[in-house]
Structure 1
Amino acid sequence: MSTGPVVTPTPQQLRALTHPARLRMLGMLRVDGPATATSLARALGLNTGATSYHLRQLAEHGFIEEDTERGNARDRWWRATASSTRTAPPSPDDVEGQDAAIAYLQSVVMVYAGQLQRSVEELPLLPQPWQDATTYSDWIVRLSPSGAAALRERLEAVVEAATDEEGEDTAPYVVNLNAYVRPGVLGEDR
């Protein structure tokens, strides 16, 4: 897993992440470590030309870099430059930032939905302890904006406090935190 710093992208960098294949590649490089365009293409079901193009875009925007300690001129390896991407809400008057953030988040949702679907499909194949550790739960709680922000911060702190465990029975464990106002309940006039 990549252990680099956390990156907070600019609107231009966010635009580079609006393609779901790029998000998946970046995620794979962060979790699985360095890889070649060929191995990523195989894992993602893409051709190597498209994969190479997406890798160059990620590198151009600083999300990945060539791993010069591996491979050769014909066999280029890539690695992530940061372990996580965090987005800060753009100011309301930053139209470019707002548009880039929404486009990025649309891609994030597509990638998350695909991962969730694959997780459900594979659930019956998992050993029982992993099935028991899996949940697809939701809660709806009435909160003020400050109460909602406080809850989100506490949940983030719990996840960030978790440390990687070593051992034969460990595996990458995905935690997606999606916290938002229920769509359609706040009108334009509120």
Structure 2
Amino acid sequence: MVSKKKDEIVLEMAALKGLAHPLRVAIIDVLSAYGAATASTLAERLGESSGATSYHLRQLEKHGFVREDTTRGSGRERWWERVPRPISLNATELGPTSADREASDLVMAEWQRNRQKRLAAFLAHGLETVGKEWIEVSGVSTANVQLTLEQMNDLTEELAAVVDSHLAKYRNQKTPGARPVQIHVDVFPIIDGVEQGGDVSGSAKDEQ
């Protein structure tokens, strides 16, 4: 299963391997963005068979990522929803060539690929799809600043608190006019930047 810390799903190795399949990551992404769905609905959206989505939903349920939405459906169909907790993936202790690291890299790569695909679609087709008003209140921006380790930790925690407060306020709302909105907050050091007061000597590390 998974271990919990501050209401997060912190992946242990069995659960990480249970998630490490492109279709399972895609299913989690769709349920996160659009809410509960049936295996057939997921299959149609993802271009897969309902048999495939049903199988992978059962695997995700086994590891605690999804659950049946018993408020919907009938005896003929089951609705599935993502378990509403953040998923935390920490690969810092994994060997660079281990099977566990390979599983971690696959999950991270699929998350990133799906994020980039959605952002590219918004930039290319947002105006004609959602209209001027939604474009005007959207934001795609990059900021650069020199930070110490402690300062970056403070920034990360403050940004997470702002996002969490909005998730708690609006999660599962049924307000007319609401539509799926995806939030990206990226905070990371530039790897080839020079540390203030130091140098760039030493070996490089690739850690997630």
* TM-score scaled by length of structure 1: 0.80
The 1:97–1:145 alpha-carbon spacing in structure 2 relative to 1, beyond 3 Å, is: farther
Letter of the 1:115 partner, please give it. R
Q: Deviation at 1:138? A: 0.8
Equivalent residues in 2 for 1:37-186, closer than 5 Å: 37-68=39-70, 70-72=73-75, 74-88=76-90, 90-91=92-93, 98-125=101-128, 126-162=130-166, 163-164=169-170, 167-185=175-193
* In 2: Cα distance, 1:155 partner to 1:182 partner: 19
* TM-score scaled by length of structure 2: 0.74
Tell me the equivalent position of 1:18: 20
* In 1: Cα distance, 2:174 partner to 2:56 partner: 33
Residues 14-34 of structure 1: CA distance to partner in whole angstroms, max 9, x if unpaired?
Answer: 223333332221233244333
Q: Which runs of 5+ in 2 are unaligned?
A: 1-6, 194-199
* In 2: Cα distance, 1:173 partner to 1:68 partner: 25
Identical columns (%): 25
The 1:57–1:129 alpha-carbon spacing in structure 2 relative to 1, beyond 3 Å, is: same
* In 2: Cα distance, 1:103 partner to 1:188 partner: 28
Q: Which runs of 5+ in 1 are unaligned?
A: none
Q: Deviation at 1:49? A: 2.5
* In 1: Cα distance, 2:69 partner to 2:63 partner: 16
Aligned-CA RMSD value: 2.8
Q: Is 1:40–1:51's contact at 8 Å kept on the other side of the alignment?
A: yes
* In 2: Cα distance, 1:80 partner to 1:63 partner: 6
* In 2: Cα distance, 1:65 partner to 1:120 partner: 33
Q: Is 1:67–1:77's contact at 8 Å kept on the other side of the alignment?
A: yes
The 1:184–1:17 alpha-carbon spacing in structure 2 relative to 1, beyond 3 Å, is: farther
Q: Is 1:66–1:78's contact at 8 Å kept on the other side of the alignment?
A: yes
Q: Is 2:17–2:100's contact at 8 Å kept on the other side of the alignment?
A: no
Q: Is 1:124–1:131's contact at 8 Å kept on the other side of the alignment?
A: yes
Q: Is 1:9–1:85's contact at 8 Å kept on the other side of the alignment?
A: yes
Residues 92-145 of structure 1: CA distance to partner in whole angstroms, max 9, x if unpaired?
Answer: 679665554333212211111111122223311222221011122111211122
Letter of the 2:190 partner, please give it. R
* In 1: Cα distance, 2:36 partner to 2:174 partner: 20
Q: Is 1:36–1:76's contact at 8 Å kept on the other side of the alignment?
A: yes
The 1:149–1:100 alpha-carbon spacing in structure 2 relative to 1, beyond 3 Å, is: farther
Q: Is 1:7–1:82's contact at 8 Å kept on the other side of the alignment?
A: no
For these two proteins, the number of residue pairs brought into alignment is 185
* In 1: Cα distance, 2:175 partner to 2:83 partner: 26
